[in-house]
């Protein structure tokens, strides 16, 4: 089971590392990071640097393609070589998934046209510009295409994907091992639950 996660400058760290933590525990799975060019990429917060030894062009196929988001997606959607690679790799995957604004890259590749999909709540207009219909659901699946909402939702998506790749018991065992049993101190994790003041400040963070 070959799972590929592209990284790029200004990627959102939890978008990639949350699903990586989950999917790396899938029996028989290998998770690989790829980048536009081999070398270092830096996350959107500026403090995490990752050495990636493989360029995406070296990857011709995989079982799962998982595209994270982050500020860097706004530049990558203009990179026709990368977008064409996403489209080409998707043709042979068992599942193609995105977290947060990674959905914009799936959209740019034409994979979401006419489908309901989710992304970070602040990027809904950008998503719909690619022909998708935004829904505020945390995870949306259409056959082998899966999109998930902002940042932390990638963990939920990855657990569901782990079940699709194996079985429910294995996915639940991974959930238990990672002790993913969230009890957040505040109930403001979605637009529908947050106050106007919280939403205004949240927009300054991305």
14, 16, 66, 100: which is the annotated catalytic residue?
A: 100
Q: Tell me, letter by letter, the H, E, C secondary structure of the chain.
A: CEEEEECCCCECHHHHHHHHHHHCCCCCCEEEEEECCCEEEEECCCCCEEEECCEHHHCCCCCEEEECCCCCHHHHCCCHHHHHHHHHHHCCCCEEEEECCHHHHHHHCCCCCCCEECCCHHHHHHHHCCCCEECCCCEEEECCEEEECCCCHHHHHHHHHHHHHCCHHHHHHHHHHCCCCCCCCCCCCCHHHCCHHHHHHHCCCC
Reply yes or no on whether 62 is catalytic. no
Alpha-carbon distance of 166 to 182, in angstroms, equals 23
Q: Which of 49, 154, 172, 34 is nearest to 103 (CA)?
A: 154
Which residues does the annotation mark as catalytic? Answer: 100
């Amino acid at each position: 089971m070959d799972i590929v996660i592209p990284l790029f400058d200004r990627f959102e760290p939890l978008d990639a590392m949350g699903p990586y933590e989950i999917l790396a525990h899938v029996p028989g799975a290998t998770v690989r990071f790829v980048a536009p060019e081999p070398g270092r990429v830096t996350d959107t917060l500026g403090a995490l640097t990752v050495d990636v030894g493989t360029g995406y062009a070296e990857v011709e196929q995989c079982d799962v393609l998982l595209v994270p988001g982050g500020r860097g997606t706004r530049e990558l959607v203009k990179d026709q070589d990368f977008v064409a690679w996403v489209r080409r790799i998707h043709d042979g995957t068992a599942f193609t998934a995105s977290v947060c604004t990674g959905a914009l890259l799936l959209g740019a590749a034409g994979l979401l046209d006419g489908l309901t999909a989710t992304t970070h709540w602040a990027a809904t207009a950008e998503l719909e510009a690619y022909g998708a219909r935004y829904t505020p659901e945390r995870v949306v699946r259409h056959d082998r295409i899966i999109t998930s909402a902002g940042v932390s939702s990638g963990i939920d998506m990855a657990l569901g994907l782990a079940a699709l790749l194996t079985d429910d018991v294995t996915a639940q065992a991974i959930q238990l091992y990672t002790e993913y049993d969230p009890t957040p101190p505040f109930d403001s994790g979605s637009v529908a639950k947050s106050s106007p003041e919280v939403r205004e400040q949240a927009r300054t963070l991305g």
